[in-house]
Amino acid sequence: MKFLREFVANALIGGALVVLPIYLAALLLLKGMQAVVGLVRPVARLLPEWMPAENLLALLLVLIVCFVVGLAVRTRAGRTIRSRMEMSVLGKIPGYTTIRGLTQRLAGEADANVWKPALVEIEDALVPAFIIEAHDDGRFTVFVPSVPTPFAGAVYILDGTRVHPIDVPFAQAIQSISKWGSGSKDLIAAMRVP
């Protein structure tokens, strides 16, 4: 019964993490179209009545704005402005920086010292974990994910002697955790010997 409940909860959360961003993006697109429909109405009146010109032109205008913003963000000034806005607005949302760090790490864009895979000693076992930060006194803050959902878990502050970084890609460590430990022999083989 407990297994079934956990399975249903994990499937529901996993599905929500896929569906919600798509749903929110569609809502934002529709809201943007509603905001610009007044701007395109004079042009839409010039087109045939059988054509849904207002909606098509509004969609086209929103997509053009998204394209131009996407181009601007690729410039050095655009990246600077984006990062400032992101930290001043989105950085205040609880959990945003964590999710952002995870997605950047999955995409291979993040700092290699953040969310670094490791095996940590808890009680008499080696447990897959991720190094969140290193302390000046030699201790580490680590995140130990739950199985099979690696985005929930516990945070520990451990002595450096109990934390063993491993030389595997972030995605491989996540995959091992989400497969109930399958592939752990590769994690152990990649453990750095002190």
139-188, pLDDT tens digit by residue? 999 988 887 777 778 889 998 888 988 888 777 787 787 778 787 777 77
Which phi-psi region, left, alpha or beta, contains residue 74 (left: φ > 0; alpha: ψ -120 to 50)? alpha
Q: Which CATH topology does 116-189 take?
A: SH3 type barrels. (2.30.30)
- Taking a C-beta distance cutoff of 8 angstroms, is the pair 174, 149 a contact? no
Element (H, E) at 158: strand 153-158
Give the percent of the chain with pLDDT over 70. 87
Q: From CA 194, how far away is CA 184, in angstroms rounded?
A: 19
Q: Which residues of the chain does CATH 2.30.30.140 include?
A: 116-189
Token pair in block for residue 116: 């670094």
pLDDT tens digit string along 28-64? Answer: 888 888 888 888 878 777 777 777 778 888 888 888 8
* Model confidence, pTM: 0.48
